[in-house]
Amino acid sequence: MALFVFGGPVSVVGDFAPAAAERHYLLHSVGRRLFVHELEGDILSRGAFADVGISVSSVSSLKQFIVAGDLYNGVSLLAWRCDSASDSRRLEIVSRSVSNWLLPVAACDALTEGDTLGIIAADLWGNLRLFSVNEPKEASPPFLEQLQVLRCDSESMEANAPIIAFKQIQTEKGEVACAGWTAEGGLLFIRLLDGPSAKLLQEIQGWLETSLPSECGVSATAARVPAGAPSLHLQLWVAEQQQQLQQQQQQQQRQDLQQLLLQQCHPQEEDAAAGAAAATPAAAAAATAAAAAAGAAANVSLLLQQQELKALAAMRSRLPLWAPLLRHLCFLSVPVQQQLLGGAPPSLLLLLQQEFSASNKGAEGQQGVSFSWVSVSFSTCHP
């Protein structure tokens, strides 16, 4: 047993193994600086470091990559570079979240699905955010050529409690998932899904949200709205929708003004009495146009609120994680299962038949077995 004393407040300690052939490394952080050291007997030798954010709060490794969460500045993806010929070791930042986005991270980990690498990050309130690496540098804007920026694909309130830590778990397909522990004693299992599975689960989730009663009138989608201020990505989305609505409002006002000018520019063939009589409808038309403009402004304000709510729902529905309502499928009674199946839309039934009946055609013949909610319950509750 070796005892090491570091000159600083160590916030994270862990191990790191880039490959099976290489030795294990010791990972630790002091403030904003993340260190990687080789352990030779009782001596720490030949390491590397990188400055990450302000204060490192969580760290995880996957092969030669390291995911580091910061207490204030989101997550960063680092790569371990080891050159045996020159005997050099480097720890480089490959990608990170938006630097000026105040995002506290309490726990983070890496997920894989095929060739896709995702980064899951939990903040202090239990909100989960899924990040992915953008396109190659050739496809990035000029100001992002030097450093790729992690894209926040979606946000969701899945935990309902602060998450303490994540631990990587290998799935039956050899992919990397993770388990999360909450401060209230809960346990979560999080994994990435492929396109067809995500589409299927989103269809089922949407149908259950409209079919099952909600507690106290609060829908499941509204219950998943993250706590705290909205993220930068959500604000940009809402700002884009607001700009589009303002452009539509300006275009409508220009059309109303053109119609009003056309009404006022009739040929002056009527006499003065007719002109005086025509002045009254013109004034009435102007008043009507003003009232319509005021009504349009009120409608725009209402539309902005609706767009913001739609933005929240859209961002949450894009999260490819197990949805909360799917956890309750195994507890549904047979009559409720039959009722849901009888009222399901044809598109959802087609997806269900393709997902759960096609795999059983060999054993049951060309017809396959009929769909049952039990198969969905087993698939969702036994990852």
- Per-residue model confidence (pLDDT) at position 189: 83
Q: List, for residues 3-12, the tens digit of each pLDDT value.
A: 455 556 777 7
Nearest alpha-carbon partner for 29 in 44, 43, 45, 8: 8
- Per-residue model confidence (pLDDT) at position 194: 78
Q: List, for residues 110-130, the tens digit of each pLDDT value.
A: 988 888 888 899 888 888 888
Nearest alpha-carbon partner for 109 in 34, 53, 192: 192
- Give me the residue label for tokens 């609060």: 218
The pLDDT > 70 percentage for the chain reads 48
- For the question of whether the overall pTM of this predicted structure is more than 0.85, the answer is no
Phi, psi of 249 (to 5 degrees): -65, -45
Please report the domains of the chain, with CATH numbers, ordered by start residue.
10-192 (2.130.10.10), 324-381 (no CATH)
82 is written with which tokens?
């080891």
Q: 58-72, 178-192, 334-348: which range is least confident on average?
A: 334-348
- Per-residue model confidence (pLDDT) at position 67: 92
Residue 73, SS3 per DSSP: strand
- Per-residue model confidence (pLDDT) at position 353: 65
Q: Are 337 and 372 in contact (CB under 8 A)?
A: yes
Residue 345, SS3 per DSSP: coil
- The whole-angstrom distance between residue 281's C-alpha and the CA centroid of its chain comes to 55
Q: What is the rounded average pLDDT of the residues 166-180? A: 87
- Per-residue model confidence (pLDDT) at position 140: 44
The pLDDT > 90 percentage for the chain reads 1
- Per-residue model confidence (pLDDT) at position 62: 87
Asked if the model's pLDDT at residue 90 lies above 80, the reply is yes
Residue 259's pLDDT band, with cuts at 50, 70 and 90, is confident
Q: Are 153 and 147 in contact (CB under 8 A)?
A: no
Q: List, for residues 361-382, the tens digit of each pLDDT value.
A: 444 444 433 444 444 443 443 4
Asked if the model's pLDDT at residue 213 lies above 80, the reply is no
Asked if the model's pLDDT at residue 2 lies above 60, the reply is no
Average pLDDT score over the chain = 68
How many whole angstroms separate alpha carbon 315 and alpha carbon 154?
A: 5
337 is written with which tokens?
């299962």
How many whole angstroms separate alpha carbon 28 and alpha carbon 4?
A: 12
Q: What is the rounded average pLDDT of the residues 345-372? A: 53
- Per-residue model confidence (pLDDT) at position 109: 92
